[in-house]
Amino acid sequence: MKMESNASSPQLPDESEAVTVTDVARLAKVSVSTVSRILNGTARVSADKRSAVEAAIRTLSFKPNQFARGLKMGTTMTVGVVTQDIESPFFTRVMKGVEEALSKAGYALFIVSGHWDAHEEEDRIRLLAARRVDGIVIITGRLEEHALRALAQRQPIVVAGRDMEAHNVRSVCYDQEYGGFLATRYLISMGHRRIAFITGVKDHPDAQRRYAGYCRALQEAGLHSEDVLVQQGDFTESGGVLAMTRLLDSQEHFTAVFAANDQTALGARMVLHRRGIRVPDDISLVGFDDLPAAAFQTPPLTTVRQPLFEMGAYCGETLLRMLGNNVPERELPGLELVVRDTVRRI
C-alpha cells in the first residue's frame, strides 16, 4: 500500500487547486486590479462589484499566494526565531511569549535552532536571511556582536538575554548578577553559612553574572566564597547530577546549594535523593528561572523567577515596533525570589 501511493504521486496534488486572482476576476467579471483592491482595501470599489468578488473568492476558496505578494511588496510577514534547543523549557517559554506577540499581528514564525553551536547558528541565520524574513528574534545566541551588527543591516534584530545597543538592534535582559545575589542573600538570611554553587555553561555571560551575584552576597555578609564549594555545571539536569556528585564526594561540609538554573537544581536534587539526603531537612536548595515545572517538584523548588514569557512577548513587540507597527511598550516585571519549600531555616 505504501509503495503504491508513494509511486503514484510524484507530488502534483495541488495542480487542480491553482486558483489565482485571475480566476477570481474572471468569475466576478471584473479586472484583477479590482480584486487586488478589495483584497488589500487599497481603494474604494462599488458595492456590487465588491460583493461579486467576495462571492467569487468564497466559491473558489481563493487564498492569495504569499510568494507572489512577498515578491511584489518586499515584505514577507515572516520573522525568524533563533533558539539553541527547541526542547529546552527555558527556550520554549520565551518562544511562547514571542509567538504570542507576533502571531497576533499576523506574522508567521520560522523557528531555527543553533544547537549551541556558533557555526550552525550563523548558518541558520543565513538561511533566514535568504528567505527574506522581516525581522529576527535571537534568544541568547552565541554570535559575536559584530556578526550581529552585520546581520542587522538586512533586517531588524531583537536579542533576548543580552545587553547590546546598535543600529537596528534592540536587546532585553535581566540583571543576572542581582538574581544571583538575591538567591544567595536569602540563603544567608535563613542562617546558612556554607553555601555551595553549581555554575552554568562555562563562559556563558549569564552564568558568570549569577556567580558574581553569589560572590557579592557572600562578601556583603562577611563570608567568602570558597573554590571547593563551586562546581562547574552546564545548565542541564545531567550537569547538575555530575556537579552534585562531585560536591558530595569532596566531603566538604555545606548546608545549602544554589544551582545556576532550575534544570541544574533538578539534577542535583535527584542525586541527593539517591543518597538519602533530605531536602530541605539536610540540605537546602535554590534554583534559577522558575520554569513551569519548578512548582511541581517535590518539594516545590524555591527559585529566582525570571519572567521568561514576558521577556519573549516584549521581544516580539519590540520587533513589531521596529517594523513600523504601533504597539504600546510593555512594562517588564523584574527578577523576583519565589520562596517555596526547598530551603530550611537553621
Partner DNA sequence: TTTGTTGGTGATAACGTTTTCATATATGAC
Partner DNA sequence: GTCATATATGAAAACGTTATCACCAACAAA
203 lies in the site for a second copy, by CB under 8 A: no
Instruction: For the CB of residue 45, give the shortest distance to DNA in the complex, in Å.
Output: 3
Q: Which stretch binds DNA (CB under 7 A): 64-72, 182-190, 250-258, 287-295?
A: 64-72
Residue 39 in contact with DNA, rule: CB under 7 A: yes
Which one of 21, 112, 143, 304 is in contact with DNA (CB under 7 A)?
A: 21
Of 160, 137, 157, the closest CA to residue 149 belongs to 157
Is 281 among the residues that bind a second copy (CB under 8 A)?
no
Phi-psi group of 181: left, alpha or beta (phi > 0 → left; psi -120 to 50 → alpha; rest → beta): alpha
| Residues sharing a CB contact under 8 Å with residue 74, sequence separation 6 or more, in sequence order | none
Select from 68, 14, 59 the least CA-distant residue to 36.
Answer: 68
Which residue reads 534554583 in cell numbers?
A: 287
Residue 149 interacts with which of a second copy, DNA, none, CB < 5 to 8 Å by class: none
Element (H, E) at 334: none
Partner that binds at residue 285, options a second copy, DNA, none, CB closer than 5 to 8 Å by kind: none
Nearer to a second copy, 35 or 217 (CB): 35
- The alpha carbon of residue 306 and the mean position of all alpha carbons in its chain are separated, in whole angstroms, by 12
34 contact, one of a second copy, DNA, none, CB 5-8 Å limit per kind: DNA
Go through 38-61 and write b for each residue having 16 or more CB atoms within 10 A of its CB, e for each that does not.
Answer: beeeeeebeeebbebbeebbeebe
Residue 128 as a binder of DNA (CB under 7 A): the answer is no
Q: Which helix (H) or strand (E) holds 112?
A: strand 108-113
Coil vs helix vs strand at 159: strand
Side-chain-side CA neighbours of residue 234 (13 Å): 7
Q: Footprint of a second copy on this chain (CB under 8 A)?
A: 1, 5-6, 9-11, 13-14, 16-17, 63-68, 70-71, 76, 86-87, 89, 92-93, 95-96, 99, 103, 108-113, 126-127, 129-132, 152-156, 165, 167-168, 237, 266-267, 269-270, 273, 292-293, 295-300, 321-324
| Contact footprint for DNA (CB under 7 A) | 18, 20-22, 29-37, 39-40, 42-46, 48-49, 62-65, 68-69, 71-73
